[in-house]
Structure 1
Amino acid sequence: GGDDESWDAGALTGLDVPILQALCLTSPRAAWEENDEGVSPLDAATQIAVPEFDGRLITVPFSFKEIDEDGLPAYVADAERAARVAGIAVRHAKLRHIPNAEKRIALVLSAYPTKHSRIGNAVGLDTPASAVALLRRLRAEGYDFGPEADIPGLVSGDGDELIYALIEAGGHD
């Protein structure tokens, strides 16, 4: 707790550690378990979408809004779910001690609806160019993708070359 005026989220940047977002859902655990949608639109917006914009890594729900014996709503942590969040935190902490060349990573590009013209679609973002820039940065930081020439667009810096290679490799058009 504390004074909102004194909170400085920017101070966390200096720690050079990933910030994990554990979810405190606004519904009881039983309702969450029965919900095929996963989380409510409110929880999706406030605990997933907005924190992702801040750069936080989303984990899993660990606390649920239950009704106590007095009929009042109260957040209740669930031991099994809290242990899951703790496990995620420990695994992220261990990553710092693994050489980048030994880490396994994936770059996931959306394609919704599933058309070649939608691969990596993002409003206001040149996804192909950003993907190539990200791959170049990762390579510079020691991540191993194999020979540079094996990744379309990496040598030339042409994001479209990467997308055309993905389409050629298979797709849903």
Structure 2
Amino acid sequence: MLKLGENIHIISPKVKEALANRDGAFFVQLARKQKEAGADALDLNIGPQKKAGPEVMDWLVDCVQEAVGDMTLSFDTTNLAAIEVGLKKVAKNGKANAIINSTSAEEERLAAVPPLAAKYGAKLIALTMAKEGIPVSADARVSLAMEKLMPRAQEVGLPMSDLLIDPLVLTVSGCQE
């Protein structure tokens, strides 16, 4: 099991404000707290960041690596340029591993994201959902993994050990079949 620290998330008002103000001390402290709490990796969720994504990710990786050194970093944004900046920075520093969080079985994401993971030797979280959303049945989610996600990873040369399938288990009240 991978314990992913997810407190660096743009949805948090404090994180959003600290990003806007480039408050590095805030992120150093937050990263250290998550490491001390037992996180195996830290998720850096900057949201879509359409304009400033690469610059924000570059700055944030510096802050977090100052705090936790060689801890694995997970890049969580829909901005592929920002993900690539993070991957390059981790590869350049040579101390940490990286995770891309995430791809789904949506054609556009599936075409673009797995090749990035393969290129930089990153792990890839693959969500068992498609354009239509999360399938209600567990069998349909398994089918997405077996018929779309795993073949695409193999096609681009991503080792199966680097593909982390997220089955998106639904609650009973969430219409799980």
Larger radius of gyration: 1
TM-score range for the pair, normalised by the shorter chain length? under 0.3
| Structure richer in helix, relative to its length | 2
TM (norm. structure 1) is 0.27
TM score, norm. by length of structure 2 = 0.27
The answer to which structure has the higher strand fraction is 2
